[in-house]
């Protein structure tokens, strides 16, 4: 049986393309592994690299010497309005005077309440005059969870298991990059002040 050139191209090109995509995926996976330590052996968030909302790599050692709050956020949650408002207030009050840094990670794992892409999230944050640091949307639970979040959960387990229960779980990080406290979604950001004061 003779196969024409066009027919052969239809068979070969997709196969080569798929192989190329798989190769790129493997390279990307290896790169992520190289950039981040094993979460079980890491001692500080400063060892990790994440992507900001623009897709740019950010080495978290830029936060050395700063007390930080790391929080998973969503734009369509019943807790959204209050948390964004109070996180803004915290940053306005303590960003300059105390060096507080807030690292917000959008996540769509809870009832699909962060469905948008990066551009949507940036628009949402801009409308609320967000000044704190916003990062690329990630998973916080399961095998696909970002290594940083595996590390956070390993260092500060939660009630009934270390997994993240809902949007707006908050981790306090001391100046050395060590997760020192974990607070659930029901804790208002402004109620963290008395806890943050221990680490200024």
**Domain of 176: which CATH number?**
3.40.30.10
* Domain ranges, residue 127: 45-197
How far, in Å, are 14, 17, 18, 31, 118 from residue 3 at the CA level? 16, 20, 22, 40, 45
What residues act catalytically?
Answer: 77
pLDDT tens across 47-60, in order?
999 999 999 999 99
Number of domains in the chain: 1
165 near 171, Cβ under 8 Å? no
* pLDDT value, residue 34: 53
Answer whether 81's CB lies under 8 Å from 170's CB.
Answer: no
Residue 40: inside a domain: no
Mean pLDDT to the nearest integer, 72-101: 98
Residue 14 lies in a domain: no
- Cα separation, 182 vs 1, in Å, equals 67
Q: Would you say residue 158 lies in a domain? A: yes
142-179 tens-digit pLDDT: 999 999 999 999 999 998 999 999 999 999 999 999 99
Handedness of CA 139, 140, 141, 147 (dihedral sign): positive
- Residue 6, in any domain of the structure: no
Q: For residue 125, is it within any domain?
A: yes
76, part of any domain: yes
Query: In the structure encoding, which two tokens stand for residue 108, read together?
Result: 């769509």
Task: Decide if 16 is inside a domain.
Answer: no
pLDDT at 15: 40
Which pair of tokens denotes residue 68?
A: 């930080």
- Residue 39, domain member (yes or no): no
Give pTM, 2 decimals: 0.83
């Amino acid at each position: 049986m003779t196969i024409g050139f066009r027919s052969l191209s239809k068979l070969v090109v997709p196969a080569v393309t798929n192989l190329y995509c798989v190769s790129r995926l493997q390279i990307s996976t290896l790169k992520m592994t190289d950039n981040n330590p094993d979460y079980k052996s890491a001692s500080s968030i400063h060892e990790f690299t994440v992507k900001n909302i623009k897709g740019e790599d950010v080495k978290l050692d830029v936060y050395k010497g700063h007390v930080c709050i790391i929080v998973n956020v969503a734009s369509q949650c019943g807790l959204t309005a209050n948390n964004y408002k109070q996180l803004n207030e915290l940053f306005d009050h303590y960003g300059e005077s105390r060096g507080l840094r807030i690292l917000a990670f959008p996540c769509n794992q809870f009832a699909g309440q962060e469905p948008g892409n990066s551009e949507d999230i940036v628009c949402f944050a801009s409308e609320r005059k967000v000044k704190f640091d916003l990062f690329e949307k990630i998973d916080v639970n399961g095998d696909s969870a970002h290594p940083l979040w595996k590390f956070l959960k390993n260092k500060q387990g939660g009630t009934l298991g270390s997994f993240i229960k809902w949007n707006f779980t908050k981790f306090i990080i001391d100046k050395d990059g060590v997760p020192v406290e974990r607070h659930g979604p029901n804790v208002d950001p402004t109620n963290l002040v008395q806890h943050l004061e221990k680490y200024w």
